[in-house]
Chains A and B, each alone.
Chain A
Amino acid sequence: MINFWGYSISETRSINYDKNDKAMTEYIAATVPSSKLCIGCGGCTAGCTAGNLTDFNIRKVQMLMKRGETKDAKEQLQKCMLCGKCMLVCPRGVETRKMILEMLNFIKTNQKLED
């Protein structure tokens, strides 16, 4: 395709829930049931060391994951130091640390399968 137009057709920003692959969503819901309890208060992110130094936002990462948007999860999760502060602040008792570990696990396993 020759781009003599000076522009290309924009990709949509919106989440297409119907088309998104929700394998990770289902995996996390099964392995970390408490993750379903999130109400998006953001307490986890407010105290997060990595979140204060980078754009890492664990609340957002896991919420996107629940909608099947996992494209950025891998890169984002690498910033986490697993210190567990998020878990201590969560008013809903979400096992955030475990959730992160399981997301990493899932990514690693799937990566292996892809390779």
Chain B
Amino acid sequence: MNLEGKQQIWNDYQKEIADDHYFYARSCIRQTFFPGSEWAYLDIMKNKLGKDVVDDPRHTTCTGIGYHSDIVPAETIMTVVARHFALMTEAGYENMTPSCITSFGIYTEILETWEHHPEIEEKIREYLWKATKREFNKPKNLAHTSDIIYKFRNEIATQSKYKLVNVHTGRPLRGVDHIGCHYSKMFPTKGIGGAEFPAVLSGLIYAWGGDVIDYPERRHCCGFGFRQYLVMANRGYSVANSKKKFESMQPYQPDFIVANCPGCAMFMDKWQYTISEMEGTTYGQDGYGIPVLTYEELSALVLGYDPWEIGLQMHQVSVEPLLDKMGIPYDPEAKYKNVRGENIGAPKCPTYLRVANL
């Protein structure tokens, strides 16, 4: 693949990202499945990059999952989102940074809708007022938190303790960048690098010494969908999509997958177990599967955070092979212990998928 050609395209898809003072919007899926991930992000922002980020406990779900599965009407989700904007406005912030790709997509879509249909915006302001007596300003800048990390990738690189390089061979680690569909497929201009060759995650990998794999099904959806996954009868279709991606990336021998959408990360991590149980197939090396990380986790690893502190033991696919390659020390004994040193219990060993130290 011709990198110059790609860079040419990237030049067309650059977006403005605020420098500081962010209002943080958490993600339902991320905080459930990767709780250490959001903590790591906030810690990096505040303590490593010295940025001002507000994490308001009154902030709720954006109801995107309900919206995309036809349960929550458009007016409702708009009003919920309007409330988030109100919280941001009340806190005195203008830069909205959602952690979830679904939320990011929803926010973008709502702002675009209001842009073209001011009457709808008016109506929503009315609804919000009636319901909560709140008012809001629209965010001046909307960026996904992966955009923020992308913006500061070089700062992170300068502070990094570990590189995305195999310490044993010196070879750059091969990473798969998986972009959430709602990040740029709906509005290509709102994503760094556009929809065809997004740069937001590959930018991180390159900045931190790794190499990016361009496999044929790179653009393909992880299969999460909403209706697909939520309805059990459709779930086979959901897994089939992940499988298609794994089969396509496998020949390139990826060392890890990084995703900016919490749903994708969760799916690509958990489905590897499902596929192994259903078909006896495992991907990656030696039957361990391909480790799947969120970009926050990847940043935290690069910056030298303790793997168990950022919650990597919550992953289905063992991250230890990746940690070994990067040369990150870890205490195998501490994997299934909480901060107080109490045992949190180890998962049952899968039939086919290998789990480190189990």
Chain A interface residues (CB < 8 Å from chain B):
1, 3, 5-12
- Dominant SS among interface residues on chain B: helix
Complex contacts, B235 vs chain A, CB 8 Å: 5-7
Asked if B239 CB lies within 8 Å of chain A CBs, one says yes
Q: How many residues of B contact A (CB 8 A)?
A: 16
By Cβ-Cβ distance, the 8 closest A-B pairs, closest first, are A10-B240, A7-B236, A10-B236, A7-B235, A10-B237, A9-B239, A6-B232, A9-B240
Q: Are B232 and A9 in contact (CB under 8 A)?
A: no
Indicate if the CB atoms of B232 and A7 lie closer than 8 Å. yes
Asked if B233 and A7 sit within 8 Å, CB to CB, the answer is yes
- Among residues 262 to 294 in chain B, which have CB atoms less than 8 Å away from a CB atom of chain A? 274-275, 277-280
Do B233 and A9 touch across chains, with their CB atoms under 8 A apart?
no
Q: Which residues of B contact A1 (CB under 8 A)?
A: 277-280
Chain A residue numbers with a CB within 8 Å of B244 are 12
Which residue on chain B has the smallest CB distance to residue A11? B240
Task: List B residues at the A interface (Cβ < 8 Å).
Answer: 232-237, 239-240, 243-244, 274-275, 277-280
Chain A positions within 8 Å of B277 at CB level = 1
| Shortest distance from the beta carbon of B233 to any chain A beta carbon, whole Å | 7
Closest to B233 in A: A7
Q: How far is the CA of A6 from the CA of B234 in the complex (A)?
A: 10
Chain A residues with CB below 8 A from B279, complex form:
1, 9
Nearest-neighbour CB distance to chain B for A11, whole angstroms, equals 8
Complex CA gap A9/B234 in Å reads 10
Residue of B nearest to A14 (CB): B244
- Chain A residues with CB under 8 Å of B275's CB are 9
Known: A1-B279, A6-B232, A7-B233. 11 other contacts (CB 8 A): A1-B277, A5-B235, A7-B232, A7-B234, A7-B235, A8-B278, A9-B243, A9-B275, A9-B278, A10-B237, A10-B239
Q: How far is the CB of A12 from chain B (nearest CB, A)?
A: 7
**Distance in Å: Cβ of A98 to nearest Cβ of chain B:** 39
Neighbouring A residues of B239 by C-beta, 8 Å: 7, 9-10
B240's nearest neighbour on chain A, judged by CB, is A10
Most buried by A among B278, B279, B280: B278
What are the residues of chain B within 8 A of A8 when measuring CB–CB?
236, 278
Closest-CB distance, B245 to chain A (whole angstroms): 13
- In the complex, which residues of chain A have a beta carbon less than 8 angstroms from the beta carbon of B236? 7-10
